[in-house]
A and B are shown apart, each in its own frame.
Chain A
Amino acid sequence: MSREVHNGPTDETQARGTRYSGDPQGGTGAAPQLDKLPLDGWHRAHGGRMVPFAGYEMPVQYEGIIAEHLWTRENAGLFDVSHMGQLFIHGRGADAALERLMPGDFRSAADMKPKYSLLLEEDGGIVDDLMATRRGEDFYVVVNGATKHGDIEYMRRRLPEDVVIDHMKEQALLALQGPRAAEVIETIIPSVSELSFMQAAPFNWQGHNLWISRSGYTGEDGFEISVPASAAAALADAITAHELAKPIGLGARDSLRLEAGLPLYGHDLDTRTTPVMAGLTFAINKRRRAEGGFPGSMRILAELENGPVEKRIGFEIDGRQPVREGALVLDGEGSEVGKVTSGGFSPSLQRPIAMGYVAAHLSEPGTALKLEQRGKLFDARVVRMPFVPHRYYRKGASA
């Protein structure tokens, strides 16, 4: 038996599009130096199977990806996302300075409200996607783990001297996700569940300062908790002591976000894709569209006006076999019209799903296409995402 391809964000090399070596240990060739997460020992003690990802050894699974996935859709899953970069950007005019790097509306961003945005190249290509939250004059920004060092360099080069980036390396980041997440967290840090979706606030737990936002990457209700690394294990213990909460690995994080239709940087987004191609135009508001003034704005505003050449879409695939990243998309004549950028087996739907890019004229839901993987053709149709409906918490909305 030989392992041929590898799925999902469980190896750093995947983020650069290289083939998986087939060895979960990372192969014998020049292994990169891997860092340890603050919760490294905690993961191992809880049976986490550690794999290289984003320069760290990270848990890909504990009891099994499908069980962890379904647990998160039903209860509450605890994810360690401490590999992600937590940045504090401060200095006079930080909001206006950030607007020169990203298409977000930072000047009128409300306090304590996380906003999704994108770092862009001069040609409109995506350098990274991130969440930025105004805290007074300053911004708390969370970027992807595999790209954080490049992002910091990119921002330092372009920000004015008096806008400073602190990389908060002493902070761990935990995510508690799922329909029972609020119930779990309420028993540990009362009043957190008063946050509405996409709202954040400081909290205190046993003398430790926490920064918690009601947000996540699974399509479920949930919370992202920035905690001092020294207190992370105690907090993880307190959360998983609740019978509705279990630790969840990277494998389920990937299948959950795929079902939720959420793109993953390095796979579904990269410097060859723009926010318009990727269907992320919600991140560019009316004022920024009118004024421009962000990298690549000429191209991006033209794409908003005339439509992009390619669009990110979802695929529903016949049969049971997963079609994964790298598969080609073919039209009726067998011509290549796109590529699969993420794909796998959906534990919630019990069938294969995928996302990718196709030529804009073939992006309408219902369009029949073929996918080609390892010489085999699969019948697929374009579908609207998410594959599994989002269940975010809205204050005042009935459950």
Chain B
Amino acid sequence: MSLYFTKEHEWIRVEGDTATVGISDHAQEQLGDIVFVEVPDAGRRVAKGQEAAVVESVKAASDVYSPVSGEVVEGNEAIADDPALVNSDPEGQGWFFKLKLDNPGELDGLMDESAYREWVKTL
């Protein structure tokens, strides 16, 4: 299993050819109280950089872009029902969607966890 992060504050946990995507603790902290989440349905194809989910806090609405291409295997209904889960456990139970990777090569160049945490400190 490997964990990657993007400069758009998404994380990608890869197990075999399946990637789980969510937003980082820093992202939920910046958004504040999250009140609405829309996740993609299973079967939907998303391209790298395409919007795949919506997250809204009291203050702001954001699109979550898919950091990799693939077919959605599952959207996390738990966060659609209880959006505050993204605040309380962003990098665990607050995941957004799982997809089957088209091209694992798209992961090249993403930050690993320690690089991301160091980079966030500079923001």
| Residue positions of A touching B, CB distance < 8 A | 1-8, 10, 20, 24, 60-61, 64-67, 251, 255, 320-322, 324, 344-345, 347, 374
Kindly state whether residue B112 has any CB partner on chain A within 8 Å.
Answer: no
Contact (Cβ within 8 A) A345 B27: no
Interface hub of B10, B30, B31, B58 (most chain A Cβ within 10 A): B58
Q: List 23 A-B contacts (CB under 8 A).
A: A1-B23, A1-B27, A1-B62, A3-B61, A4-B61, A4-B62, A5-B60, A6-B59, A7-B59, A7-B60, A10-B59, A20-B60, A64-B33, A65-B32, A66-B58, A251-B32, A251-B59, A321-B38, A322-B36, A324-B61, A345-B36, A345-B56, A374-B61
Contact (Cβ within 8 A) B61 A1: no
Contact (Cβ within 8 A) B59 A60: yes
- A322 to B54 Cα, complex, angstroms: 12
Contact (Cβ within 8 A) A321 B32: no
Kindly state whether residue B8 has any CB partner on chain A within 8 Å.
Answer: yes
Given the interface pairs A1-B8, A1-B10, A320-B35, the reply to whether A24 lies near B63 with Cβ below 8 Å is no
Fill in one digit per residue for B48-81: 1 if any A CB lies within 8 Å of its CB, else 0: 0000001110111111110000000000000000
Contact (Cβ within 8 A) B65 A2: yes
Minimum CB–CB distance for A323 against chain B, Å = 10
Contact (Cβ within 8 A) A3 B62: yes
Minimum CB–CB distance for B121 against chain A, Å = 16
| Residue positions of B touching A, CB distance < 8 A | 8-10, 23, 27, 30-33, 35-36, 38, 54-56, 58-65, 83
Other A-B pairs, 16, CB within 8 Å; known A8-B58, A65-B32: A1-B27, A1-B55, A1-B65, A2-B8, A4-B61, A8-B59, A10-B59, A24-B30, A61-B32, A64-B32, A65-B33, A65-B59, A67-B33, A320-B36, A322-B36, A345-B56
Please provide the 4 A-B residue pairs with the shortest distance between their CB atoms, ordered closest to farther: A345-B35, A66-B33, A65-B58, A321-B36
A residues in contact with B61, CB < 8 Å: 3-5, 7, 322, 324, 374
A residues in contact with B8, CB < 8 Å: 1-2
Minimum CB–CB distance for A311 against chain B, Å = 27
Minimum CB–CB distance for A166 against chain B, Å = 36
- A64 to B35 Cα, complex, angstroms: 12
A residues in contact with B55, CB < 8 Å: 1
B residues in contact with A324, CB < 8 Å: 61
B residues in contact with A347, CB < 8 Å: 58
Q: Which residue of A lies closest to B38 (CB)?
A: A321
Minimum CB–CB distance for A376 against chain B, Å = 9
- A321 to B54 Cα, complex, angstroms: 10
- A10 to B60 Cα, complex, angstroms: 11
A residues in contact with B56, CB < 8 Å: 321-322, 345
- A210 to B113 Cα, complex, angstroms: 53
A residues in contact with B32, CB < 8 Å: 61, 64-65, 251
B residues in contact with A1, CB < 8 Å: 8-10, 23, 27, 55, 62-65
B residues in contact with A67, CB < 8 Å: 33
Interface hub of B10, B27, B59, B83 (most chain A Cβ within 10 A): B59
A residues in contact with B54, CB < 8 Å: 321
Minimum CB–CB distance for A259 against chain B, Å = 12
